[in-house]
Amino acid sequence: MAGRYGRPRSVLRMRTVAGQVFLLQVAIVVLLVAAAIAALVLQSGTDSEREARNRSVAVAQTFASAPGLEAALKSPHPTAVLQPRAEAARKGSGVDFLVVMNTQGIRYTHPLTDRIGKKFVGDIGPALDGQVVTEKITGTIGPLVQAVVPVVGTGGKVVGLVSAGITISKVSGVVNDQFPLLFGSAAGVLLLTTGGTALVSRRLRRQTHGLGPEEMTRMYEHHDAVLHAVREGVIIVRGDGRLVLANDEARRLLDLPPDVEGRQVAELGLDPATAVLLESGRVVTDEVHPVGDRLLAVNQRSTARAGGPPGSVTTLRDTTELRALTGRADLARGRLRLLYDAGAEIGTTLDVVRTCEELARFAAERFSDIATVDLAESVLNGEEPETTGAAVAMRRTAIGGEVPEGSLYPVGEPMQFAPTTVLGTRLPAGEPVLEADLTAFSGWQRQDPERARQIVAHGIHSLIAVPLRARGAILGVVLFWRAHTPEPFDEDDLSLAEELVARAAVSLDNARRYTREHTMAVTLQRSLLPRGLPDQNAVEAAFRYLPAQAGLGGLGGVGGDWFDIIPLPGTRVALVVGDVVGHGLHAAATMGRLRTAVHNFANLDVPPDELLWHLDELVTRIDLDEGADGTGNGPKAPITGATCLYAIYDPVTGSCTMARAGHVQPLVLRPDGSAEFVEVPGGPPLGLGGMPFDTCRLELAEGSRLVLYTDGLIEDRSRAMDEGMALLGRALADRPGLTPEETCEAALEALLPDRPTDDIALLVARTRRLDAARIADWDVPADPSAVAQVRAAAVRKLIEWGLADEAFTTELILSELVTNAIRYAVGPIRVRLVHDRSLICEVADHSSTSPHLRHAASTDEGGRGLFLIAQLAERWGTRYTGDGKVIWTEQTLSDANRAPEAPADRGP
């Protein structure tokens, strides 16, 4: 068009749209290319540092998690193992150094071997806490980035550190090498874009013919139609504060008068905040402004940014309904999240009180300021909840949150809601109560008027009470209080509280039922265990039995551990400790059967290895019987696995004979304070069958303590059996003055975990020796005339002991036993009298033939000797020795004639 007047057209003064578009496009392309090159140049340094950080972290983390690294760190020579591996990893990954160090920062590896063993230069504190540390430093090889990562062991503890570093020049060199290619590519793109833009602009000029007036008018009409049809308000304000344009939607949203164009914004009657925003022209993005009863999202930009006239363009969008919907969605999402978290944090254990504490703590932190939980007394005891009623006795079980002193009832306080209050009438019926304003004293204060005034005085202003219901019964009540939160509870809060309590009630009822079943099982088990220790003078004993912690998902609860002290003939005593594998009623019942069997076998007075053999046969038969196919529909009983240690101690000789079947070794504490584990030959666990059991015999000095225990004492999830045995020995060694009771306490204090996963049986027996003055023995020749001599010697000894009243009976018993030994047995024959709690007569010979009691006919000349002995003695029997047998009798003595008794044995 400029050529019409004969003047040459200047490129910079093009007035046609096509020409201006061409110039604009060329300028934009040039600016974009220049900006891209500048950005690449500026960011190359940042990218180089980022790449160095990423590569050093990746290499350090990969090497820190490599298999065998923890074992290498704990090996005697970590450098010998780790140096070649670290160098190979360094060369393969391209980093400048890869250093492995211990938790004190001492290097185990380094590319320069003279720096091994020296302190690492850098910050390792956060890495010792399990974090990854990266830092940029300037070292001897130039600016570099190094990363330090922890090496986490199997127990979750940091056992070492790994650091990798790389110089920034090594990374940036790769980027710098690409700059010639980048500049060449940018120049090519600029040429291609400029040429393409020129072609497009030329075609546009040819097709639009310079954008004539008609075309521009039509373009304006379309623009005006679209501007007023959109559902978003548009306002254009000049730099002097005058409104240039307002479309129909803007007029509606701001309630503008018809003649707004050309008027000052301050004269439009807008609210001050909106007027100030439009006049300021500041950049705004989605800023929400209340205008009347609407919430408007405002976006504002300057019109001068693209070379236009001074001013601003503002867009308005009505978000009132959207904001309301979003608020309701956020509220619903928050409540769902709260209920989800409650399911994860409440009821983590099968413990009633612990579940109440979790509920109170969670509610106080996430829903109300204070929460209290009151449970019925029967529920606390694990029993079925009582019939619903206002008079149900409750007890405050848990409190969550900060309770002002003197306001609410403390934990442990009995609770009973008065029937004259709304709580006393609605809660027993299972209905919740909402007291939005406690200061109104609408009747709730009649429960305790004085305490009600204290509650309000301390700022507690709102209450929700929800009964804990499970299976139609009321377990208790949860009270939610608000003090610090100014908003009172409303109906939405009441529904949320009901849902929260309903979910917690299920966990609480499960815990109650588990507590009841666990109590029943423990009661059964304790009824199968000894209630006390029998009277005997061989040892002074103490014991402990601790069931596993309840609620451990099958690992806790009752088990099959047991112990026993069984008096044997001849003042001896048997010490027994056993363990049935598994937990629950089946293990407890099996333990009862095995304990009864041990008593029966002990009455036969068999040696320890033979007793374990009989017990092994019994366990095998139990497995066969319970594993056989039956007619019932129930599952088969599990295979029984059991261990046992059986020891016999003789206070006359001080000898102790022991045998074990898969059980842990006993511990002997000598009077001098030394401790040693007795190497009793290890037999297989009971029930395997076919394997013999060996015995171990040792002499115990008077005052020695024999410690028998089950593996629950020394073994735990975090402690191996060998480690536990060593800890037990260290805890009890060098403490010779401890009584059996104190020994039990010391062992439990040193080894008992906070939450035992297995039951524990512990038996400590301190040995005694029978006074030699109360023992008399004689060798008897195989001559019938020697019987009279033995009787006379026995009578003299009895008179010496003050037992003249027993002389006649003892003469008859000895006469019969010695005569039978001379007549039927094989010599030599030995007679022994023992004065203990009873008078014991023993006749030993080398014959294995055992006499038996029979009833002689009236015409028989003999056969009445043992019958006479059975009538005269309290008990009698036969026990076999390695070279024969011993026939023994016990005669009851009066309290005045008994040997002095030892101090009474005690148990927990």
Residues 6+ apart with CB under 8 A from 84: none
> How many other C-beta atoms can be found within 10 angstroms of the C-beta atom of residue 110?
23
Cα-flanking dihedrals φ and ψ of residue 316, to 5°?
-125, 135
Sorted by sequence, the CB contacts under 8 Å of residue 652 that are 6+ apart come out as: 570, 571, 769, 770, 775, 834
Calculate helix-pair angle for 608-627, 585-603, nearest 10 degrees. 140
Q: How far is CA 768 from CA 462, 508, 564, 702, 901, in A?
A: 70, 52, 18, 5, 11
pLDDT recorded at residue 73: 83
Predicted local distance difference test score (pLDDT) of residue 766: 96
Give me the mean pLDDT over the 202-227 stretch: 62
- CA 764 to chain centroid, in Å, comes to 32
Q: What distances in angstroms separate CA 730 from CA 228, 642, 672, 733, one per listed residue?
A: 92, 28, 15, 5
The whole-number average pLDDT for the span 737-752 is: 93
Please determine, for residue 578, whether its predicted confidence score (pLDDT) is greater than 90: yes
Q: Which SS3 state, helix, strand or coil, does residue 348 take? A: coil
Interior CA angle at 175 toward 172 and 177, to 5°? 110
Q: In what order do the strands lie in the sheet with 133-139?
A: 97-101, 158-167, 142-152, 133-139
> What average pLDDT does this structure show over 619-628?
76
DSSP 759-804: -EEEEEEEE----GGGEEEEEE-S-TTHHHHHHHHHHHHHHHHT-G
Tell me which amino acid residue 868 is.
L
Residues 130-144 have pLDDT tens digits of 888 888 888 777 788
Over residues 374-380, mean pLDDT: 86
β-bridge mates for residue 394, sequence order: 376, 415
What is Dmax (Cα atoms) for the chain? 171
**What is the distance, to the nearest Å, from the Cα of residue 425 to the centroid of all Cα atoms in its chain?**
41
498 phi, psi to nearest 5 deg: -60, -45
Give the pLDDT band of residue 749 (cuts 50, 70, 90).
very high
Residue 657's pLDDT is 96
Q: What phi and psi values does residue 697 have, to the nearest 5 degrees?
A: -120, 130
pLDDT at 646 over 90: yes
Q: Give CA–CA dist 109/164, Å, rounded.
A: 11
Of the candidate ranges 478-482, 711-715, 799-803, 867-871, the one whose mean pLDDT is the lowest: 867-871
CA-to-CA distance for 598 and 578, rounded, in angstroms?
Answer: 10
Going from the C-alpha of 284 to that of each of 57, 302, 638, the distances in angstroms are 40, 10, 74
CA distances (Å), origin 810, targets 19, 815, 874, 896: 142, 8, 12, 18
CB 463 within 8 A of CB 435: yes
Angstrom distance (rounded) from CA 493 to CA 367: 9
Q: ∠ CA(708), CA(711), CA(714), 5° rounding?
A: 90
Please state, rounded to an integer, the average pLDDT across all residues of the chain.
Answer: 81
| Strand-strand pairing, 284-291 and 539-546 | unpaired
Residue 397 to residue 785: CA distance in whole angstroms: 82
Bridge partners, residue 541, by sequence: 765
For residue range 309-324, what is the model confidence (pLDDT) as tens digits?
788 888 888 776 666 5
**Cβ neighbours around 733 below 10 Å, total:** 15
Which range, 193-197, 589-593, 677-681, 800-804, has the best average confidence (pLDDT)?
677-681
Residue with tokens 């009438």: 425
| Backbone phi and psi for residue 65, each to the nearest 5 degrees, phi listed first | -95, 10
Which is higher by pLDDT, 316 or 217? 316
Q: Give the CA distances from residue 95 to residues 87, 145, 168, 183, in Å, rounded to whole numbers and listed in that order.
A: 10, 10, 11, 29
State which H helix or E strand residue 879 sits in.
strand 875-881
Higher model confidence: residue 869 or residue 551? 869
Closest by CA to 644, choosing from 561, 565, 712, 723, is 561
pLDDT at 376 over 80: yes
d(CA 607, CA 618): 17
Sheet holding 667-669, edge to edge: 539-546, 760-767, 705-709, 667-669, 675-677
State how far the Cα of 661 lies from the Cα of 720, in Å rounded to an integer.
Answer: 20
Cβ partners under 8 Å of residue 223, min gap 6: none
* Contact criterion met (CB below 8 Å) for 99 and 85: no
Kindly report, residue by residue over 405-427, the tens digit of the pLDDT: 878 888 988 888 888 888 888 88
| Phi/psi of residue 260, nearest 5 degrees | -100, -25
Residue 520 has pLDDT above 60, yes or no: yes
Q: What is the pLDDT of residues 823-844, one digit of tens each?
A: 887 778 999 999 988 899 999 9
CA dist., res. 730 & res. 726, Å (int): 6
510-546 in b/e form (b: 16+ CB < 10 A) is: bbbbbbbbbeebbeebeebbbeebeebbbbbbbbbbb
Q: How far apart are CA 699 and CA 676, in angstroms?
A: 13
- pLDDT for 131 equals 87
More confident residue, 623 or 147: 147
Predicted local confidence at residue 671, as pLDDT: 94
Phi and psi angles of residue 355, each rounded to the nearest 5 degrees, phi first: -65, -40
Q: Is the pLDDT of residue 297 over 90?
A: no
Q: Residue 839 is encoded by which pair of tokens?
A: 């008078």
Strands 655-661 and 682-683: parallel
Express each pLDDT in 66-117 by its tens digit: 888 888 888 888 888 888 988 888 888 888 888 999 888 898 898 888 888 8
Cβ atoms within 10 Å, residue 826? 13
Q: How far apart are CA 322 and CA 466, in angstroms?
A: 34
Say which residue, 141 or 649, is predicted with more confidence.
649
Q: What is the pLDDT of residue 66?
A: 83
Name the DSSP class of 83.
Answer: H
Alpha-carbon gap, residue 587 to 528, rounded angstroms: 11
Map tokens 């047995």 to a residue. 825
Comparing CA positions, the residue from 270, 265, 267, 313 lying closest to residue 290 is: 270
What does the radius of gyration of the chain's CA atoms come to, in whole angstroms?
48
> CA–CA distance from 68 to each of 65, 73, 75, 81, 462 (Å)?
9, 9, 10, 10, 60
Gap between the terminal Cα atoms of the chain: 115
Phi/psi at 684 (nearest 5 deg)? -70, 160
pLDDT digits (tens, 9 = 90+) for 752-805: 887 777 889 999 999 999 888 889 999 988 888 888 888 899 999 889 998 888
